[in-house]
A and B are shown apart, each in its own frame.
Chain A
Amino acid sequence: MKPENRIGIFLCECGGKISNRIDLPQVSELLRYEPWEHLGVYPYPCLAPGLEAIKQDVQAKGLNRILVGGCSSRVMKKRFTKALAPLGLERHQVEMINLKDHVAAVHEATPQELAHKAAALIAGGMASLRLLEPFEPVSLTFEGPALILGGGFSGFIAARELARHGMESVLFSKAQSPERVLDELHWTFPGCRIFCGDLADLLREVFTHPRVKVMPDQPIDYIVGGVGDYHVGLKQPDGSVTEVAGAAIITALDREYGPGNIDYIGGGERVCDLLELEEKLGAGDISPGKMVFWVNSPQHGQAAQELAAMAAWRDSLVLAREHPQVQPMVVYPANITLPLSGNDLREARTQGIGLMSYAPEVHPVVQSGFLSFVSPGDNLEHEVEWDTLVVPGAPADPVEKAQELLRWLPIYPENGGRLQKSHIKFWPDQIPDESLFFTGSAGGVCDLNEVIQQGKKAARGVLNLREKALQGKLVSPVVVHVDKDLCEGCGLCTEICPCGGIEHVKPGSGPIARETDNHLCSGGGTCAATCPYEAIKVLNNSTQQLEARLKAILSRMKENEILGFVCGWGGLASAEQAAVKGLTYPKGIYLTPVNCLGSLDPFILSMAFLNGAKGIMLAGCTPKHSCHYHYGVDHCWYRVNAMKKLLSLAGLERRRIAIGYVEVNEPESFVRMVEANMDVLDKLPPLPQDDQTKARLWAIHATLHRPRVRWVLGTSLRRPTEKEFPGSQFNAVDADETMLEVLREEFLAARIIKAISDQPLNPPGIALTMGEPVKSITPLLPDMAQEGRIKLQGWEGGYPIYGLGKK
């Protein structure tokens, strides 16, 4: 990218859809004094003739930044970037302003009025484009073995796949021999004894393969590094830590099974759970007679019941083959799908294994020697005789090892103890490669077969990364950049980051500057908005660019108009959908799409007010599950909340800023939201333009730049590991008051600085300028002087004189 700015603006008529609603020649006129190299109006820039014309202009005028004023960037940007890529233009060098859906289709106003709005949005886009920065993508090396952590069974499969494809791996396992692994298998996968022969072959291959190193399981002290270069610290029994390095990490975690719910049945030895039966099978100690497997415990969910039915069926097969003195029978609830094939059913008939379903509405009753249940076929109670009654085990939490790993990897527990990779859902081309591999039944109740597939898939993923690296194509896009000089190593970003894009550091290594792993980064940007020292930057989507864009838009806005931020998912989708549906809303709202509301730095909000915005509306996804960036929209809520507190400290209306939530496919809600907010703001006067208000807005802005305030704000944000928001607010009022206290103090300090920014003053003079009583500021002054924020410049008439400079 050439550092010199050469911006080309291409306005689309869209066959009249835009040009009939917006006076495009007037837009060109309004943009006359903006620094562009090319500005043209095209009938359809997106069609082949239009693209050809754009390409000619790019080549003829050497344009390196393209702004298309047309329609949705979500849908059309790919078309333009694809066409312009051969000319060396990168994705971020193409900016789209949605004139059709944000201006032309949704407002009832004259083409001249809409031209004004369109010009403002385009000027904003240009301001943002001007701040693009060149960068070189980083080529990653991918050397060393794959580290397979967690000890889940899928790890063995992954190790075998990797070994067969010539890649080394280090596998950590509690069990150190194939026999031990199989002995313990029923704890995680009950009913898999029938596969022992095949599994033993697999395990023998893994344990004896020269490319697989099986190491005893050791407590994990730390996991640092990124894709291609991970370091795992292992705690040794003597307290020391040894380090293993590897190119990739596969996390294989399984869920253990606990004892089944048999206490209420009683019956001593004759009643057991699947785990006990497995142990008896292992010992060959099986009493003859009728054995009934009763799949109960609907509280664990249908998936667990299906798994239990499967395990019961497999154990029945083992019994029928190896212990002919036993007559097994499986009694299962009718509402689950029995996962058996036609062959299995034929086998059941030949082996004499009974399969009976019961109506789940009526709980079966256990009697001595009998189990009575209601058949769904005839609604009649039936009885089966038993000599041994077997109930399934209960799916318990993921293995203990999980807790050690969760601290370091972006894997989080969901409701019900289920572990999930950071549940970020994006367009595939927004994330470079799949590089976080999480397998095993801890991610959801599943069968051994499925876990084996997961293991294979993870291995294929690792091999894919290695393949790319060998071809030199494993390139990390620079998404997030940490300024080493500004970073103080506080680690707040690592805690906040949901995607693992900010790397961890070794424990006890002190405050060192953070590194980023852009292969995992999702570009959510809440880290940048949180950093107390403003050291983090989302490259080419930075806060500085947004600031420039908003300043450009604000300078062209009228005094009764407001700023709107929409997140790139729920907010933007429903805003554009409103246009598609033909809905309209007042034209006084200037929408700016951002990736996620969580990427909005709090000082962006204060900057908008400082530059004359009358109000701000933010529309994001509904918190909890639909935010694509985990808790981004929650984080935004805290920042809006801080802004509201500061507004009321400054004596302005809190309702000048409002956040709303809207889902994709809810255009009506979006329109209602805009209309309601505009109604509220219409009743408010524009921001007063007197010096006192301006000084206060300046102080709000300065307050939100203070590391102390940003730090307190950052610590109050919800962590990705935290689960529920509404019910479990802990000390909400107290926490809020602490926050308010900090804001009040810093706001006052900022106002003092503003008061003496022009000339040094004594305390009564400062108080007079601020319009506050002297006693409210006197306690603060000596502290601020001590911190070096203001300077004591001498004494006059018994009063100290404070100023900003030395003297």
Chain B
Amino acid sequence: MSAQKTKQGKKTKEGKKAKKEKDDGLIRFKINGQPVQAREGWTILETARQNGVKIPTLCFHPAVEAIGSCRLCVVEIQQNGHTRVAASCITPVQGGVDVLTDSEEVQNVRRWVLEMLLAHCPASHQIRELAKEYGVTSTRFKTEHPEDACPRCGLCVRACDEIVGIRAISLGNRGVFKEVTAPYHQRSADCIRCGTCLYICPTGAMEQLFPQVSAP
């Protein structure tokens, strides 16, 4: 991880306080061996990004609450000799741990996730690009719907609810049948056609889905 830049000099104020170990409200831990500071309530992903460490994400968007559904942002957390793999977008920071964002374990999990995504939504250009970036070009899983581009991450549904406040789209069905649809499979008249779901969709799937969920 030598290529990753570290942002310094941003937090002059905090730097001043850093000498006092106690009572400055800062949580100290390491990401890829680099010591970082965070505050209560930040997640590992946020802290990593603040420090210039790259973690891939799909279902994460700063405008809506993270739910950790795509598992692409997994990191390895080492603490007292124990190690666990967790989704960094929903894992709050913890003092004294070692976070590895590109360990063998993480790479392994990420490749599995990407292979599953490739099988699940092969039509998405963005997914294919992302997979290629992490060295995944083929999948060992069966592709049932080659035209499908939607990873069912629910980002559009959360955006319609949390940002717009309309709830014109929802996730229908469960498990392997899960799909993004308007309530009752009826094109939603509540939709205001603001395009937030289109903008936020990480795979471009909403473009095909939009005419099916929004009533003109």
Contacts and interface: CB of A to CB of B under 8 A. Distances in A.
Interface string B194-209: 1110111100100100
B63 to A, nearest CB: 5
Given A15-B49, A47-B49, A79 B62 contact: yes
A280 interface: no
Contacts of A581: 204, 207
Interface string B1-20: 00000010011010000000
B199 A72 contact: yes
B192 A425 contact: yes
Given A48-B43, A49-B38, A79 B63 contact: yes
A74 B62 contact: no
A75 B63 contact: yes
Contacts of B33: none
Interface residues of A, number: 38
Nearest to A75: B63
B47 interface: yes
B29 interface: no
A48 B165 contact: no
Interface string A731-760: 000000000000000000000000000000
A44 B194 contact: no
Interface in A360-375: none
A737 B166 CA distance: 46
Interface string B123-166: 00000000000000000000000000000000000010001111
A44 B54 contact: no
Interface stretch (A116-124, A426-434, A459-467): A426-434
Contacts of B61: 75
A259 interface: no
Contacts of A626: 193, 216
A265 interface: no
Interface string B172-216: 000000000000000000001111101111001001001100001
A665 B198 contact: yes
B204 A625 contact: no
A477 interface: no
Contacts of A680: none
Contacts of A570: 193
Contacts of B198: 573, 577, 580, 664-665
B199 A580 contact: yes
Contact of B199 (A74, A625, A628): A74
Given A75-B63, A79-B63, A665-B207, A427 B46 contact: no
A428 B166 contact: yes
A78 interface: yes
Nearest to B204: A581
Contacts of B164: 427-428
Contact of B195 (A48, A76, A625, A665): A665
A429 B165 contact: yes
B81 interface: no
B165 A428 contact: yes
Given A47-B62, A425-B192, A427-B194, A573 B199 contact: yes
A208 interface: no
Contacts of A76: 62-63
A569 B49 CA distance: 31
B96 interface: no
A425 B193 contact: yes
Given A46-B62, A79-B62, A573-B199, A628 B192 contact: yes
B50 A47 contact: yes
Contacts of A429: 165
B199 A665 contact: no
Interface string B42-85: 11001101101010000001110000000000000000000000
A53 interface: yes
A577 B216 contact: no
A contact face: mostly helix, strand, loop, or mixed:
helix
Contacts of B199: 72, 74-75, 573, 576-577, 580
A623 interface: no
B46 A47 contact: yes
A573 B49 contact: no
Contacts of B192: 425-427, 628
A50 interface: yes
Contacts of A569: 193-195
Contacts of B207: 581, 665
Contacts of A46: 62-63
Given A48-B42, A48-B46, A577 B62 contact: no
Contacts of B63: 46, 75-76, 78-79
A661 to B, nearest CB: 14
A664 B50 contact: no
A43 interface: yes
Contact of B47 (A15, A49, A75, A628): A49
A52 interface: yes
Contacts of A48: 39, 41-43, 46
Interface in A107-130: none
A305 to B, nearest CB: 20
Interface string B100-140: 00000000000000000000000000000000000000000
A380 B13 CA distance: 88
Contacts of B195: 74, 569, 572-574, 576-577, 664-665
A79 B158 CA distance: 14
B165 A43 contact: no
A287 interface: no
A242 interface: no
Nearest to A60: B13
Given A50-B50, A53-B10, A573 B194 contact: yes
26 contacts: A15-B49, A42-B10, A44-B62, A46-B63, A47-B62, A49-B38, A50-B50, A53-B10, A56-B13, A74-B199, A75-B196, A76-B63, A79-B62, A425-B193, A426-B192, A427-B164, A427-B194, A573-B198, A574-B195, A576-B199, A577-B195, A580-B198, A628-B192, A664-B194, A665-B210, A665-B211
Shortest Cβ-Cβ A-B pairs, 6 listed: A573-B195, A49-B50, A46-B62, A425-B192, A664-B195, A47-B46
Interface of B: 7, 10-11, 13, 38-39, 41-43, 46-47, 49-50, 52, 54, 61-63, 159, 163-166, 192-196, 198-201, 204, 207, 210-211, 216
Given A43-B10, A626-B193, 16 more contacts: A47-B46, A48-B42, A49-B42, A50-B50, A53-B11, A74-B195, A75-B163, A76-B62, A78-B63, A425-B192, A425-B193, A426-B192, A569-B193, A572-B195, A577-B195, A628-B192
